[in-house]
Structure 1
């Protein structure tokens, strides 16, 4: 009786010692969940009238701060689990519960973005920071029933930097450098790969994440209140271009190249609701396996915004991509969104996408690390919805 009483008292003490948040167990139903990234701002704490020998700082948690902070840290984590019933038997042989559950394909992504900005002189602003990315695919192949088959990639230090100088009224000179990583993370949405165990081991050994580095010099010129011109010269490296086999989900590396080019952009606001944009870029690629190739693209785009409605239509004429097995030609994209702002913002949209496969286009456009998924590189008609609670 004394022993039973001692066990009851111990369990009760343990229950009170564990926080309420830790006692609540939320099952993972494998659904798609939108998570707002947490943003931390490091700001000076308010000081009272007494003199203090040292500066005191406070850490403030603010999802959308009213004023840009001198130092900002954003952490985002996302997990996708394939919504499918796990296999319970092979033929007539039942599988253990833990083994069949572990076969569910799932992908996880963690991104970290830290940056700090400061004013060096009158009209001169600088920003320094780094990014980190960690991607993991569990149950990446059908042979996961017989082992822990996974595809992992990570890089926790990818530096970024930017300088901006207001040379004259309406004229801004820019210089920036950034490194990014893009790794395969499509298992949680598209399911496990259907490879033999030997073929999957070869894929594990040979597949590498795409790494890009870019140095860019540019200027923005506001010719008139409704007309803006921009010119950029860029130079960078594309290592292990990541793509997918035609009409499939198998990731492959398409090689590396040194990229150097020039980009121009013009934006004209016709009315408060309607804007027209024109963009053109041309780049020379020196491929790792030898040879030089040129990529170029011309885009005409129209934007319309009125109240909660947003519409976009774009036409692009592109050359054949240097590192992809694709043909150039005319591409059309369009989209319409209905967005409400407030305490609980909401956005619903319908988008027709046809992304280009140019290495130079990605080098200029993408400034953040992330995941490579086959659906992001294919023609698609997507209905999207985003809610914030």
Structure 2
């Protein structure tokens, strides 16, 4: 086990095994959750369960072996919702084309892995705006969760209103929110998956959803979604004319994945000094983890899932003592079990899943607590980012309004020292977004 440098990192095989199991239990929910979310875009759920499990296994073990960090990866929450509800349902894009967008954003990520561009982007954009982006995506996916549960519904008079609280499905969703909030408040390990299964058990017990007739089976085929991505349609319309209409969406996927990964890795690393940028070893680990993330996104789009990213649930394994890639290898190996749990996952009602989406949004929203609202440009940009993402049903629009607003206010106040080249470039891209909208 010298490959993982266990002694150097003051850990052991037993501790890494325990940490890997802990991380697995904390993020096992992603398999049924991602399958249900992306199935709304028209992809078959059976194939999605297999694909989600496989990309989790591949990306997590790849990171463990390549970067030697205890970071688990899977299909990112937020971007999978944007894939389904923003691109496919919102923009009317075919899911095959949307996978093409994910593929291209991943290719950009991989190519830029060999340059300093990622670090340049990270350092160019104010930390407060990065936090605002996280909070904005949180409000967006929470809104989607509430809408899908029927708690928030369409209203001709005021656009949105409160749903029918007497509907059993709505009540089930509310019960799910209660469970996930309670478990999180009590700091129970495996909060999400425990809440999902308890809500499902409630639905089965009262007859809202049918009880599963079996619990295990052979993995479903990925044939319906494997290599079905359509890259040509990203650049050519139905008439065969070249277009850059989807370029802003590709940029949004890339930038959001980058920020999401860096934010997650920063949170994990600060607990144990793992990604200390003042140390060569810390920078190398950060870069290699981001490289594994980029490669996994490309592979994921080919097998039929949205953007892959580092999971914040990895902190549970780190808290358990995980310090090396062996934790990730163990975690990825445990996910092999989920390949055979198709009947159980299919029996989980949707309203047992969407409360997780709401809670993830809540956790992302807490990033606002550290934003410097005394800075006028930051406060205005943050407002547009957080409010317009859910109101326009688009991460792209929220980002665009935010970056443009930040640049304009800084120019008006003549605070030129706060305007970096990165901010100017992103504001320009944001302006282009509205031109091609």
Normalized against structure 1, the TM-score is what? 0.24
Larger radius of gyration: 1
Q: Compare the two structures and name the one with the higher helix fraction.
A: 2
Normalized against structure 2, the TM-score is what? 0.22
Q: Compare the two structures and name the one with the higher strand fraction.
A: 1
Q: Which has the higher contact order (CA 8 A, sep 6+)?
A: 2
